[in-house]
Chains A and B, each alone.
Chain A
Amino acid sequence: MSRMRQDANVAEPRPLRRKNPVLRTRRPTLPPSARSRIALGLTAAAARGRLELQVCQDCDAVQYPAREACRACLSDRLVWRLQSGRGELSAETVLHAAQELFFRERLPWRIGLVHLDAGADVIAYLHEKVSAAPCRVRVEAALDRAGQAVLVAVPDQGRSDLSDDAKLREMTCDPRGRKVLVTDGKSPLGQAAVRALAAAGADLVWVGEAEPWKKAAGFEGLRALPQATIVPLDVTDSRSVRELAGEIGAKVDILVNTADCHRTSAVAARRGVEIAQLEMDINYFGLLRLAQEFAPPLKARAADGSASATAWVNVLSVFALSNYPPHGTYSASKAAALSLSQALRAELRPAGVRVINLFPGPIDDDWDQLVLPPKITPAAVAAALVEALKGSVEDVYPGEVAQDWCARYLDNPKVLERELTEEAQ
């Protein structure tokens, strides 16, 4: 560790927590992850930080647990709708015995039964700030370490974060006290991410830099951050990725992949594939190289104490959902990265490591110069990134354009495709 910080001309670094190297590293266990297909609707909404329950379109009855026919009128016209989650804690218990290893390792564990104002009764985790039953609470949906939705009751008043609760913190990927690798720390977004992560309490932020001979405004300022260490990383170079993984891979808790090559080429407007190849080499193959080298050590440390390996964040783009033709080849490369990140998510889930994808709309930088506002600033994307790590979500759409794009995509992806084609003409 000290060797890498030699050239940082900085204030005295904070003392890092060290682990006893003789102790066996704990293997990750997961909460029960089996769910019926219909129940996965809860997970799909929780992935975006939303509590949604089925509501009968014929009689308005709210359903829980998820089901195939309305419990009141048998209608099958059940749709998932956002809920406030407000209700009353009817009863609670503290478990001192559990069947599954995950819970056995974490006993005692507090759960309760909440009667939602909306009319359903739900079993939920209880945030430690929730008083004894009976009391008013608000139920939220979060993702547990198996990547499935669970309900959590928090006090009705005030703000209670999962990361405030000593046990529920494990459902977050809180950067506080952790070591983070930002794969491209030089771009405006990368720099903003480094600063935001340091401000969120990361112990150490490795700042990946390719092409050290190219200057970037603001980059030198990162050297003054006590938590920052600049490391060579070129995601187009397998050797570079392998060497860095060999050096720090076993220590990375959170990997934030900001490496991005964004050009503004449509399909036929420009001859030759070499720009598209560069976009793919960074946006898609870069992710693949990083995954091959950094995913295995991340998985091995997913249960390594309170500063465990916990998350992999990809900065994608709303263009990954539906191609934006003026940036056609770029959109395709981000779509390729999205698909690959789904595969990565499947491989990391059994270890309890979460893959979080951000889908910002056009960022206020050089490559979206000609895109009309609203555009999102790199700092805003970085803030959304940190918030996602401190929460319990998988799919993040920061900013107005991203939210709008996502809503249109979920409503009807084919219609969105057409709308974007109209815009391009």
Chain B
Amino acid sequence: MRASRRTATPTAQAGKNPAPARDGGRTAIDLRAQLRAVVAAGGVRLVDLTQTLSPAFPPIVLPPEMGQSRPFRMEQISRYDEGGPAWYWNNLSFGEHTGTHFDAPIHWISGRDLPGNAVDTVPIGHFIAPACVIDCSAQARADADFLLTVDHLAAWEKRHGRIARGSWVLMRTDWSKRTDPVAYQNLDDTGQHTPGPDPDCVRFLVNDRDVLGFGTETIGTDAGQAAHFTPPYPCHYYMHGAGKYGLQCLCNLDLLPATGALVVAAPLKILQGSGSPLRVFAIVPARADPSRSKRRAARDPSRSAP
């Protein structure tokens, strides 16, 4: 874990200094450069990466003797009726980690003492970041317990260029297309079977690529069987231990280019919150598509280094 130092307000740096600044030990994004690239591309499209927050969405399953995280529930207050003649509104209850949600470092024991580690203290500059989308959809279809490895990353980088510091790494598995909650949870007598990164892969992303965080389409940034890894839940352990973040239950990753998209992910400002459901979406340059990004990387291998 690195020493921490809080920055000046992010707005100050975005307009003035093109050089990347240090921010709480993590690399700040050169937002201006990113936005310039997007504008130069001649237009954007927006892609919603968020599952609808509904009571039907499956929550994380834990052994019954542990504390339970709430699934999403709505209790209607009124709907243009005697409870409230001209208005409709609801009371909600949910856990911080319900539905499409953001994990802050304080969520894991390894990140519990880091500065800026709760959702209300995460620097605002980290709420917009470029995304690297790793397509594992074929492998995940064949094997629910598929693990992303360093070798897979190497192959990806060969095609799309080096994973930039301060990027989100999003593991596309098309798992969000499993609309049947039973298939989505994919539980059996030996537990949950969903894809995720292996420990080496996580260590590499943290130590060698200094990413912003890891995102998945499943419940949990770690694989379903990660309780049995060494260390258990390595993505949570290492990412949060390094002050990095998680995004879970994403969808529509198949609509993103491998590189070039900017992901907006701003969790609720909950006092000492460990995470929150949120609206996460991508700003995609209109002419950026997977095939184009491949050709660009082939022309200029150094392009993605900030």
Contacts and interface: CB of A to CB of B under 8 A. Distances in A.
Interface of A: 211-215, 234, 236-240, 263, 272, 274-275, 278
A420 B186 CA distance: 43
A272 B68 CA distance: 11
A238 B64 contact: no
Interface of B: 55, 58, 61, 64-65, 67-68, 70-71, 73-76, 181-182, 184-189
Given A240-B55, A272-B67, 5 more contacts: A213-B61, A215-B189, A238-B75, A274-B68, A278-B68
Given A274-B67, A275-B67, A239 B187 contact: no
B61 A214 contact: yes
B221 to A, nearest CB: 19
A6 to B, nearest CB: 15
A215 B193 CA distance: 14
B188 A215 contact: yes
Contact of B73 (A215, A238, A263, A275): A238
15 contacts: A212-B182, A213-B61, A213-B181, A213-B185, A213-B186, A213-B187, A214-B61, A236-B73, A237-B55, A238-B73, A239-B55, A240-B55, A263-B65, A274-B70, A275-B67
B169 to A, nearest CB: 27
B74 A236 contact: no
Contacts of B74: 238-239
Nearest to B181: A213
A282 to B, nearest CB: 11
B182 A263 contact: no
Contact of B182 (A213, A234, A272, A278): A213
Contacts of B189: 215
B193 to A, nearest CB: 11
B74 to A, nearest CB: 7
B256 to A, nearest CB: 28
Contacts of B184: 213
B145 to A, nearest CB: 16
B227 to A, nearest CB: 17
A265 to B, nearest CB: 10
Given A236-B73, A239-B74, A275-B68, A212 B181 contact: yes
A238 B76 contact: yes
A319 B132 CA distance: 56
A278 B93 CA distance: 12
A352 B58 CA distance: 39
A414 B299 CA distance: 85
A242 to B, nearest CB: 10
A207 to B, nearest CB: 16
A192 to B, nearest CB: 20
A310 B252 CA distance: 49
Nearest to B65: A263
Nearest to A271: B67
Nearest to A262: B64
Contacts of A215: 187-189
Nearest to B183: A213
Contacts of A212: 181-182
Nearest to A240: B55
A234 B188 CA distance: 21
Contacts of A263: 64-65
A360 B74 CA distance: 33
Contact of B187 (A214, A234, A240): A214
Given A214-B61, A272-B67, A275-B68, A234 B181 contact: no
Contacts of B75: 238
A236 B185 contact: no
Contacts of A237: 55, 71, 73
A215 B74 CA distance: 26
B59 to A, nearest CB: 9
A278 B74 CA distance: 15
Given A213-B181, A215-B187, A215-B188, A234 B67 contact: no
B118 to A, nearest CB: 19
A272 B95 CA distance: 14
A55 to B, nearest CB: 50
B58 A213 contact: yes
A237 B185 CA distance: 19
A237 B76 CA distance: 11
Contact of B55 (A234, A274, A278): A234
A272 B66 CA distance: 12
A150 to B, nearest CB: 40
Contacts of B71: 236-237
A331 B98 CA distance: 29
Contacts of B68: 274-275, 278
A408 to B, nearest CB: 30
A236 B55 CA distance: 9
A234 B187 CA distance: 19
Contacts of B70: 274
Contacts of A239: 55, 74
Contacts of A214: 61, 187
Name the 4 nearest CB pairs between A and B, nearest first. A213-B185, A237-B55, A213-B182, A212-B182
Contacts of A240: 55
Contacts of A278: 68
Nearest to A366: B64
A214 B59 CA distance: 11
A186 to B, nearest CB: 13
A236 B94 CA distance: 12
A212 B180 CA distance: 10
Contacts of A275: 67-68
